[in-house]
Amino acid sequence: MAGTYKHVVLVGIDGAGNFYKKTNSPSINALFREGAGTDRCLTSSPTISAECWGSMLIGVYPEVHGLTNSIVETEKYGKQDHPTIFKLIREARPDAKLAAFCNWSPINTGIIESDAKVYLDTGDDEALTDKICSYIISNRPDFLFVQFDSVDTAGHTFGYGSRKYLECLSAADGYLGKIRDAVEKAGISDDTLFIATADHGGFGQSHGGDSDAEKYVFFAAVGKTVPKGTTVELEVKDIPAAVAHALGVPGSDNWSARVPVGLFAD
């Protein structure tokens, strides 16, 4: 049944697409090996950060949540009929520990509602990882969201799929592994659904279009009810439904999100 997890950790690597296959990525590969996933998770269109992160956290397409980079950088989100997954969890569990650690700070200030009472922090990926690990061990959060940004920065600077880009992706994979280790050290791994994914990929030194390299991202999840070695079909906007299902939290009546078929055996 739904609600079989006490904790969900969602790690998003900005701009990663599914380029992990072209570099050393033991942590991502371990998630695929130990759980379920796909390299064909369809992100939102246009393949731009605010549109895609918005869909991942709100469960609807960009034309519904209306977020763009310029909007999230200057305004606060607060559509009552389209709440983020943070707000839904807060309403269902007033005492829940919720946290977001984002290198790209507009997620914290322009997407996550201020009244959702989420612990927020920002910084570069490496420093952020140390903060995340300490927070997990000390707080054992109900829902933790992480956004790493250095991979996307490398894509814009050196090209998506370039040597420098792939080096940054390998580094992010290492940060992902440290977060999984922290979940283990906190003693909550058996009750945690652990998800890793990306908001979009890239082509050349940009993104926003509909090429396969931009619109398909990896998705991998591990948990006690996730069938090992299963390939699932989903879109980025479905992720909030998976989180809500895992925690036993009611979803939004206005979602486009659906729990991915085959992701859970319960």
The residue written with tokens 């992010």 in the block is 172
pLDDT digits (tens, 9 = 90+) for 53-102: 999 999 999 999 999 999 999 999 989 999 999 999 999 999 999 999 99
In a domain, 254, yes or no: no
Euclidean distance between CA atoms 172 and 150, whole angstroms: 8
**Predicted pLDDT of residue 266:** 75
In a domain, 235, yes or no: yes
In a domain, 180, yes or no: yes
DSSP 35-66: SEEEEEEE--SS--HHHHHHHHHHSS-HHHH-
- 2: pLDDT confidence band, cut at 50, 70 and 90? low
In a domain, 218, yes or no: yes
Domain range spanning residue 62?
7-247
Residue 1 has pLDDT above 60, yes or no: no
- The pTM (predicted TM-score) of the whole model is 0.97
Residue 126 has pLDDT above 50, yes or no: yes
In a domain, 241, yes or no: yes
Number of structural domains the chain divides into: 1
pLDDT digits (tens, 9 = 90+) for 146-199: 999 999 999 999 999 999 999 999 999 999 999 999 999 999 999 999 999 999
pLDDT digits (tens, 9 = 90+) for 245-266: 999 999 999 999 999 999 999 7
pLDDT digits (tens, 9 = 90+) for 197-240: 999 999 999 999 999 999 999 999 999 999 999 999 999 999 99
For residues 101-126, one letter each, b for 16 or more C-beta atoms within 10 angstroms of the residue's C-beta and e for the rest, the string is bbbbbbbbbbbbbeebebebebeebe
In a domain, 93, yes or no: yes
The CATH number of the domain holding residue 49 is 3.40.720.10
* Lookup: tokens for 167: 């080096």
- 3: pLDDT confidence band, cut at 50, 70 and 90? confident
In a domain, 255, yes or no: no
In a domain, 253, yes or no: no
